[in-house]
Amino acid sequence: MSKKDEKKLMNKEMVIDAIKDSFKKLNPKYMMKNPVMFVVEVGFIITLFLSFFPTAFGDNGTGLRTYNVIVTIILFITVLFANFAEAIAEGRGKAQADTLKKTRKDTQAKLLGSDGKVKVISASELKKGDIVLIEVGDLIPNDGEVIEGIASVDESAITGESAPVIKEAGGDFASVTGGTKVVSDWIKVEITVSPGESFLDKMISMVEGAERQKTPNEIALNTLLVSLTLIFLIVIVTLYPMAQYTKVEIKVATLVALLVCLIPTTIGGLLSAIGIAGMDRVTRFNVIAMSGKAVEACGDVDTMILDKTGTITFGNRMAAEFMPVKGQTVEELTKYALMSSLKDNTPEGKSIVELAEKRGITDDVNKYNSCEFMEFTAQTKMSGMDLPEGIKIRKGAGQAVKNFVTNQGGIIPDDLDEIVNGISKLGGTPLVVSVDNVIYGAIYLKDTVKPGLVERFERLREMGIKTIMCTGDNPLTAATIAKEAGVDGFLAECKPEDKIDAIKKEQAEGKIVAMTGDGTNDAPALAQADVGLAMNSGTTSAKEAANMVDLDSDPTKILEVVEIGKQLLITRGALTTFSICNDVAKYFAIIPAMFTLAIPQMNKLNVMGLSSPTTAILSALIFNAIIIPLLIPIAMKGVKYKPMRAELLLLKNVTIYGFGGIIAPFIGIKIIDIIITPIVKALGIM
């Protein structure tokens, strides 16, 4: 499937496959999984029988066979449309699964024996614990951990990201995934899974809609729909003998039509499609949900626990402020800090240049082509520039610069230590700037909060979600970052066990908790959280403990995943509201039509002004069928979600989808009635 087709709601090939699947799903064994639509199918079988034997249940009247045939066709189309909704949702997942399957080739593996010799075997023969050698151009045969070597790995087969990632033994970046490719150097990998149990295999099974398990909320809603179906089934079954007793003639096909219109067929036909589409939206966001329950839990999240480094902050130190010592000006300090950094290509050096430019001080690097640039080294702990006239500009660690200055006979300013220690207490890194034997001050480097996070955390707050930042920094640094980022709370000097305690504390209060992580030490907390999002670049244990894996390894993505979960629940609620309100309007079409001949006064309830009892019933039944495919785009895309309080969201959905659910049938049924009235007259079944 092309990139263009992937963005489409559905393409020609997907529609054709979905139509075929719609017929396959007519199997009663499959239909029984959806009790509401199974009742419609049973109704179809009954009316199909009556089409051949119209008087089998004592019905009489002209045009009865034709009437039964028409009802049968409409019921059949209703079931097909419901099956199509589910099949088209599954088709999007299966298309992704097919793409993933292309990466799962029967690759060759270089198995290392105990004697160190290489034996080439099929990847399918590998067992857990085997050691394999993977060199440049080799596909990684199965999931594992790097135990020796370092290499660049192309993971575009599963992430879509073309930039290779570095994998090396030890740490949190030793995990490799089967189907990815080594593009430089070599690594030795210990296989950690058996054939057929790799992460890629799990991805394929998860994105295929047919493998999806129903979530708790979906099961609860399904139970409600079944209960409503049983209630109306009992009503219809008892209505027939009552009508016979009171000498009111009601055709069996009409009773079936009444049942189909009374039971919540709209949401019954779309329920599975909504759930599958929810998982599909997460997958298209490059996050693999290990279950539908995980996606649904995202919609119920009350508390989000986030690591500071790499999630809230960039994780590298950026220049934040120029702090001169007494006797020196900010302008002079900024000028020399800029000069010392013009040829410094480190992130810190570039950030100093950017900060100086923001302060209105600029310089041209070409002016210093004849100067000697001193790169930072672990030995000197300084960098800088030597000008042709002999001036030496340096920036670096406080003690290193102090030693450099005193060696040239300079004097250390009295307030320098106070400035340096103050920066350190804030969790920042001080870089002292000197020119020859004079110290001008210090540059405050700090871990910078990612842009846009303040607004995103505010969005979460509007949803009623509390954010907690976890960091190993001291309380003062943690408080500074937390305030700047706009989180609701923080845990300073946080150890792995502290994360678990924080999650358990929130859960004890009945809250649903989400968190992100990538390391082995994050695995227990990821397992404890209701929603655990592991980074694909992280360890195998972290990915196994979590119920979601982010293929892009972007920890902040959990914010969007939560919104997708919210959207799933809102879509289901909105369409359920629409379906139930839909049924209310359909009552006004069918009930008066059924009894108006025997009880003329019932015609007062014919508020739609429908032509006849027959056209009223057929119009309601046709509307009931066509509304399902019309709602498929909403079920697939999801109802547009804006962060707001639950009560406001409920009021909005009830207003739009509740009111719309009542109005739409009145308009739709009336239009259909106008269209089919001449046809019904021509067929002689008025």
Looking up residue 153, the CATH number of its domain turns out to be: 2.70.150.10
What's the distance, CA 350 to chain centroid? 35
Question: Residue 382 annotated as binding?
Answer: yes
**Distance from first CA to last CA of the chain, Å, rounded?**
50
Q: How far apart are CA 196 and CA 102, in angstroms?
A: 15
Question: Residue 168 annotated as binding?
Answer: no
Residues 91 and 212 in one domain: yes
Residue 290 banded pLDDT, cuts 50, 70, 90: confident
Question: Residue 376 annotated as binding?
Answer: yes
What's the number of domains the chain is made of? 4
Q: Which domain holds residue 416?
A: 315-448
Secondary structure of the chain: what % helix, strand, coil (to 5)? Answer: 55, 15, 30
Query: Angle formed by the axes of helices 558-595 and 252-262, to 10°?
Result: 150
Residues 434 and 337 in one domain: yes
Domain boundary residue, one of 145, 167, 194: 194
Is residue 404 over pLDDT 50? yes
Domain boundary residue, one of 398, 432, 448: 448
Q: How far apart are CA 273 and CA 209, in angstroms?
A: 9
Question: Residue 596 annotated as binding?
Answer: no
- In this structure, what token pair is assigned to residue 519? 């390391």
Position 5 scores a pLDDT of: 42
Question: Residue 677 annotated as binding?
Answer: no
Q: By mean pLDDT, which of 186-190, 218-222, 433-437, 623-627 is the weakest?
A: 218-222
Is residue 24 included in any domain, yes or no?
yes
> Residue for token digits 């590298």?
316
pTM: 0.65
Q: How far apart are CA 104 and CA 106, in angstroms?
A: 7
Question: Residue 636 annotated as binding?
Answer: no
Is residue 328 included in any domain, yes or no?
yes
H-helix or E-strand spanning residue 559 = helix 558-595
H-helix or E-strand spanning residue 288 = strand 287-289
- Of all residues in the chain, the percent with pLDDT exceeding 90 is 21
Question: Residue 664 annotated as binding?
Answer: no
> Residue for token digits 């139930």?
580
Position 439 scores a pLDDT of: 94
b/e 430-462 (16+ beta carbons within 10 angstroms → b): bbbbbbeebbbbbbbbbbbbbeebeebbeebee
Residues facing residue 384 across a β-bridge: 374, 394
Mention every residue, 6+ apart, whose C-beta is less than 8 A from residue 589: 261, 608, 610, 616, 617, 619, 620, 665, 669
Is residue 486 over pLDDT 80? yes
Residues facing residue 548 across a β-bridge: 289, 533
User: Do residues 595 and 251 make contact, with C-beta atoms less than 8 angstroms apart?
Assistant: no
Could you tell me the CA-to-CA distances from 30 to 23, 33, 210, 312 in Å, in that order?
A: 11, 6, 11, 47
User: Do residues 91 and 79 make contact, with C-beta atoms less than 8 angstroms apart?
Assistant: no
Look over the chain and give the mean of its residue pLDDT values, rounded to a whole number. 82
Residues 17 and 85 in one domain: yes
Is residue 490 included in any domain, yes or no?
yes
Q: By mean pLDDT, which of 344-358, 360-374, 496-510, 533-547 is the weakest?
A: 533-547
Residues 251 and 271 in one domain: yes
The beta strand positions in 397-454, using DSSP E, are 429-435, 438-449
- Going across the sheet that includes 429-435, the strands are 313-324, 438-449, 429-435, 392-396, 382-386, 372-374
Is residue 532 included in any domain, yes or no?
yes
Tell me the per-residue pLDDT of 85-132, one tens digit each, with 9 for 90 and over.
888 877 766 665 565 555 555 577 888 888 888 888 887 788 888 999
Position 646 scores a pLDDT of: 63
Complete DSSP assignment for 353-382: HHHHHHTT----GGGGTTSEEE---TTT-E
Is residue 120 included in any domain, yes or no?
no
Question: Residue 13 annotated as binding?
Answer: no
Tell me the per-residue pLDDT of 624-659, one tens digit each, with 9 for 90 and over.
999 999 998 888 888 877 766 666 777 787 788 888
User: Do residues 322 and 355 make contact, with C-beta atoms less than 8 angstroms apart?
Assistant: yes
What's the distance, CA 540 to chain centroid? 21
Residue 210 banded pLDDT, cuts 50, 70, 90: very low
Residues 354 and 437 in one domain: yes
Which 3 state secondary structure label does DSSP give 488? coil
Residues 32 and 87 in one domain: yes
Is residue 3 included in any domain, yes or no?
no
Residues 235 and 274 in one domain: yes
Question: Residue 379 annotated as binding?
Answer: yes
Residues 462 and 570 in one domain: no
Position 561 scores a pLDDT of: 85
In this structure, what CATH number is given to the domain that contains residue 415? 3.40.1110.10
Residues 458 and 433 in one domain: no
Is residue 199 included in any domain, yes or no?
no
Q: Phi and psi of 315, rounded to 5°?
A: 95, -5
Residues 581 and 657 in one domain: yes
- Is 21 a known active-site residue? no
Is residue 546 included in any domain, yes or no?
yes
Residues 458 and 519 in one domain: yes
Interval 321-334 mean pLDDT = 93
Question: Residue 348 annotated as binding?
Answer: yes
Position 79 scores a pLDDT of: 94
In this structure, what CATH number is given to the domain that contains residue 535? 3.40.50.1000
Domain boundary residue, one of 551, 572, 589: 551
Q: Which of 154, 307, 447, 550 is catalytic?
A: 307
Question: Residue 381 annotated as binding?
Answer: yes
Identify which of 111, 282, 224 has the alpha carbon closest to the alpha carbon of residue 638: 282
Residues 443 and 458 in one domain: no
Question: Residue 344 annotated as binding?
Answer: yes
Q: How far apart are CA 336 and CA 356, in angstroms?
A: 10
Position 15 scores a pLDDT of: 83
